[in-house]
Amino acid sequence: MTEEPSAQPLLQIALRVEQDIFVIRQRGREVAAVVGLEHQDQVRIATALSEVARDLLRTAGGADVSFHVDAGADGRFHLRADLAPVSPLPDDRYQPQSGAVSRLVDTLSVSTVEGVTVVRMSRRVPANAPMPTPERFAEFRTELGRTAPGSALDELTVQNGQLISALDEVRSQRDELAVLNEELAETNRGVLALYNQLTEELEETNRGVVALYAELDEKSAQLRAASESKSRFLANVSHELRAPVTAIIGLGRLLTDSASDPLTDEQGRQVDLIRSSAADLLNLVNELLDLAKAESGRIEPDVTEVDLRPLFGQLRGTLRALATRPEVELVVEELTGPALLRTDEVLLGQVLRNLLHNGLKFTERGEVRLRASQHGDRWQFEVSDTGPGIAPELHDRIFEEFYQIPGATRVGGTGLGLPYARRLVTLLGGSLELTSAAGEGSTFTVSLPTGGA
Ligand code: ADP
């Protein structure tokens, strides 16, 4: 809500001839000074007034100008100047000149009230200006009455003064700008130097990383070559050993054959020893050959749809012969319902046989059990035993080639079974893990994808 401290205008001036523009400008500045506008604002509103006045004189032949003070909705006072043209404006949509004028004041508008068009502008009075009470208004009027309007020359002189001070201000602003520009250029130079330094450091780091990668590539190529030559060596040696060992076994069998000349008891025992040692050797050679083949990637899994029930039946049959201890029970659990998965049946059979065989080898009493179950898109095979168990710190080591846990559990074998089993399971797209603790038995878990590798 706005409240008019005084309905009476502070001052009224008629604009009819060119000369009046100077008077309006001068009086406008005086009114602004009297109500408490700061110097800059006085010049601003005076300039806006003279511009609009010149415009109205040209387009409408003159106007009646009046000055008022309003209390605004923001609780502040505003100096308002109304310019009512003396004849209708040429165009209803008359706009007070350019935006440059409207920037000089807070509001500049053209409004038509009850058929009368008024160009209205206002500028806010600073908060620290004295309150414009009715008494103050009376004083304003007397003050304004005292100062008679000067001549156009006077006003021109004042305008000149104002122009000079405005020019001064522009000059000082330009100097400030030059200082700022210099500072900016300095900052830019700093940023550029920092950027160059960072770029250099980055390039240096990059060169280091590239060199490191080259070294790594070289090392891994060397490792690959070493591993390949190890596999090749194992394969060749095993292959070359197999023929003579097979020959020894064959010859041993011939010596003890009933068709051969009878041997003395001692000779018979020694030939048996030769045969069993040769059989052990053949076993080792065969395992080495298998492992070398698996490592060199020469085993191609033959993936087909496998029904686990006959495979389990087979395992039950072949391993029963190895379960020689009466205190140890071999349990291959029955599968309820169809148990199908896509995998290489021979390789899976080898892995499970190997794990079950280990269980039977190392378990003195209790049981060795194979259980299979499906979990989502994977099959899990658990081979558990009630044997001596394996301490956690050895869980990785027993999957190393030739590693056998020293001590009581060492009962023959080569130390190649588990690494081979893990290789095969990996080839089939699965994993082989161990859960065990010393004295608590062991559980080896094979997990395979149902859909094949
Ligand atoms: P091998 O059985 O021919 O010695 P493996 O690679 O199959 O070779 O096993 C490595 C070692 O891991 C075995 O010598 C044995 O010390 C330990 N081990 C394997 N299976 C079991 C098990 N079920 N219980 C206890 N120890 C085991």
DSSP H/E element including 375: strand 366-375
Ligand 1 centre from 300 Cα, in Å?
Answer: 26
Q: Give the nearest ligand 1 atom to 385 CA.
A: 23
Q: Give the nearest ligand 1 atom to 409 CA.
A: 16
Ligand 1 centre from 45 Cα, in Å?
Answer: 102
Give the three-class secondary structure for 258.
coil
Ligand 1 lined by 277 (C-beta under 6 Å): no
Q: How far, in Å, CA of 113 to CA of 332, rounded? A: 105
Token pair in block for residue 92: 């209803």
Query: CA nearest 108: which of 125, 116, 92, 120?
Result: 120
Ligand 1 centre from 359 Cα, in Å?
Answer: 8
Q: How far, in Å, CA of 161 to CA of 289, rounded? A: 109
Ligand 1 lined by 57 (C-beta under 6 Å): no
Check residue 2 and give its pLDDT: 42
- The pTM of this model reads 0.52
Angle at 104 (CA atoms; ends 98, 105), nearest 5 degrees: 105
Ligand 1 lined by 414 (C-beta under 6 Å): yes
Q: Whose CA is nearest to atom 16 of ligand 1?
A: 405
Using alpha carbons, list the distances in angstroms from residue 404 to 319, 398, 436, 440.
22, 6, 16, 18
Query: CA nearest 380: which of 420, 442, 425, 323?
Result: 425
Q: How far, in Å, CA of 156 to CA of 26, rounded? A: 10
Token pair in block for residue 244: 């003579």
Ligand 1 centre from 104 Cα, in Å?
Answer: 96
- DSSP assignment of 214-236, as one string? HHHHHHHHHHHHHHHHHHHHHHH
Helices (H) and strands (E) in the chain, counts: 9, 12
Check residue 1 and give its pLDDT: 38
Residue in this structure with the two tokens 């330009």, named with its chain if needed: 174
Give the three-class secondary structure for 64.
strand
Please list, in sequence order, all residues whose beta carbon lies within 8 angstroms of the beta carbon of residue 165, skipping any fewer than 6 positions away. none
Query: CA nearest 37: which of 122, 108, 125, 107?
Result: 125
Check residue 400 and give its pLDDT: 93
Check residue 95 and give its pLDDT: 66
The β-bridge partners of 305 are 342
Check residue 231 and give its pLDDT: 79
Check residue 189 and give its pLDDT: 86
Give the three-class secondary structure for 271.
helix
pLDDT in tens, the chain (453 residues): 344 445 688 889 999 998 889 889 988 998 998 889 988 889 889 989 998 999 899 888 999 999 999 887 777 889 999 999 998 877 655 666 557 788 889 999 888 877 788 999 999 998 888 777 778 778 777 877 776 666 667 777 777 777 878 888 888 888 889 888 988 888 888 888 888 888 888 888 888 888 888 889 999 999 988 888 887 887 788 788 888 899 999 998 888 888 888 889 999 899 999 998 899 888 888 888 888 888 777 788 999 999 999 999 999 999 988 888 899 999 999 988 778 999 999 999 999 999 999 999 999 999 999 999 999 899 999 999 999 999 999 999 999 988 999 875 556 778 889 999 999 999 999 999 999 998 899 999 999 998 876
Residue in this structure with the two tokens 């878990």, named with its chain if needed: 445
Ligand 1 centre from 241 Cα, in Å?
Answer: 25
Token pair in block for residue 402: 């030739």
Ligand 1 lined by 252 (C-beta under 6 Å): no
Q: How far, in Å, CA of 430 to CA of 449, rounded? A: 6
